[in-house]
Amino acid sequence: MRKAYILVNLGAPEDFSKGAAERFLREFLSDKHVISLPYPFRKLLAFYISKARGARYAESLKQIALNGKHPLLHYTQSLARKVAAKSGVPTFAAFRYGNDSVESAVDKARSCGANKFRFIPMYPQSALSTSVSAKRRITRAMRRGDDCKILPHYFDNPLYISALSNSLRNAAADADCAVASFHSVPLSHLEDSPYREQCEKTAELIGRKSGMKEVKVAWQSRMGRGSWLGPSAEEVGKSFAQSKGGRIAVICPGFSCDCTETLLEIGRDLRASCMACGAKDFKCVPCLNDSDAHAEMFCELFERMK
């Protein structure tokens, strides 16, 4: 049996047009794991939100473009090439929403003769709206007789923790306050889910490995109403800036590649809020992206999935 590795990330619009942004938002928000509403209401809400936010989302994408692409697409594809070069195993980038789809990546692997598939969803901590959704999409792409394994999470992997800790030290060795900001989820998604505990464990391990006295856990990117995980990154950052006025470093360990949530929500908007509240300095630690350390970590994780 010939083996293939497939990295699965969230995805992004294929270009920076309003239409592409609307199509991506509509597909993303139509996922029952993202919005837990009955199908007709979910589709209607996805259509309404995509129309209302498409133009603004497209403009935000233009601000973070990297070599003419969304950074998440660029870095995931670059990582796949690095993993293939280091491991000697054909490696493909796939995306839960948009192109290249999971099905497309599997078809490419099959054309190379593969029927032994190893998948890693690029979500370190397991959540309903990310890992579970990706797993179900992967399962649909498989055929009877395929040898398929999916890694559920890697929130405490030593190479992952070491790479993040090194990034934190290198970017903000003199920080007075370190914040680990994770994507918030509705509290209803935490039923029978280890997401919050895994995020908190990741932050604890980063603090221990980096030598930081404390890494505060915060939550970002809340969507809509209802009860979500908190406190928000804005609340934590502004509170420290107002009370201490020191140097703040924010790392986003739940995001494998930089995107609007890290580059704009944290790197631009939260930075502006904290500086306006009296912070002396603000550092947004880059995601691991397509770094050699990130590629080596994925090589090891795939190898362990024999």
Looking at residue 284, the DSSP 8-state letter turns out to be: E
Indicate the class that CATH gives domain 158-284.
alpha beta
190-211 pLDDT, tens digit per residue, is 988 899 999 999 999 999 999 8
Within 8 A by CB and 6+ apart from 46, the residues are 25, 26, 28, 29, 30, 35
Give the lowest-confidence range in 48-57, 89-98, 166-175, 257-266: 166-175
* Matching residue, tokens 């201490």: 244
Give the whole-angstrom CA distance, residue 32 versus residue 47.
14
Name the strand (E) or helix (H) holding 71. helix 71-87
Q: For the residues 163-180, what does the mean pLDDT come to?
A: 91
Q: What is the pLDDT of residues 47-84, one digit of tens each?
A: 999 999 999 999 999 999 998 999 999 999 999 999 99
Q: What is the pLDDT of residues 1-27, one digit of tens each?
A: 699 999 999 999 999 999 999 999 999
Domain 2-154+292-304 has CATH 3.40.50.1400: yes
| Extents of the domains making up the chain | 2-154+292-304, 158-284
HEC states along 87-137? HCCCEEEEECCCCCEHHHHHHHHHHCCEEEEEEEECCCCCCHHHHHHHHHH
Same topology for domains 2-154+292-304 and 158-284, yes or no? yes
Over its C-alpha atoms, the chain yields an Rg (Å, rounded) of 19
Residue range 237-286, pLDDT digits in tens: 999 999 888 899 999 999 999 999 999 999 999 999 999 999 999 999 99
Nearest alpha-carbon partner for 256 in 179, 149, 183, 171: 183
**What are the backbone dihedrals phi and psi of residue 76, each rounded to the nearest 5 degrees, phi first?**
-65, -45
